[in-house]
Structure 1
Amino acid sequence: MLKEACPECTGDVSVAPEVELNEIVECAECMAELEIVSREPLIIALAPETEEDWGE
């Protein structure tokens, strides 16, 4: 397992070594949705909020 600090609560986030780029994972401590920004080195960031497109 790969580990990185959650950008929201600084808790440990563990992900499988085969995690995909741009995959969304969840912090077990604060439940924040996080996006895999880079695999080597492992970098995670808060996932962007989904926006309504209102049918556009």
Structure 2
Amino acid sequence: MSECPVCGADMKAFDDPVEGELLECEECGVELEIVAIDPIVLVEAPEGEEDWGE
């Protein structure tokens, strides 16, 4: 069991977590990223940056 780093809500168990996987907190709606598997560590996902065609 992990918790949302933004609101502290308990996150449900993950069936097959993958590092880099994105998911959404059911309580606050923030997008989270799995950055470690054992134990599962969640961080707020970075906003996608526009590359302006570069």
Post-superposition, which runs of at least 4 consecutive aligned residues in structure 1 deviate over 4 A? none
| TM-align CA RMSD | 1.0
Unaligned runs of 5+ residues in structure 1 are none
CA distance in 2, matches of 1:49, 1:13: 21
Q: CA deviation at 1:17?
A: 3.5
Query: What stretches of structure 2 of length at least 5 have no aligned partner?
Result: none
Bigger strand share: 1
1:1-56 deviation per Cα after TM superposition (whole angstroms, max 9, x unaligned)? xx211011000112423111100011000001000010101100000110100000
Mean Cα displacement is larger for which, 7-16 or 36-45? 7-16
Q: What is the TM-score of this pair, normalised by structure 1?
A: 0.88
**How many residues were matched structurally?**
54
> Which residue of 1, 15, 18 maps to 2:16?
18
Between the aligned partners of 2:12 and 2:24, the Cα distance in structure 1 is 9
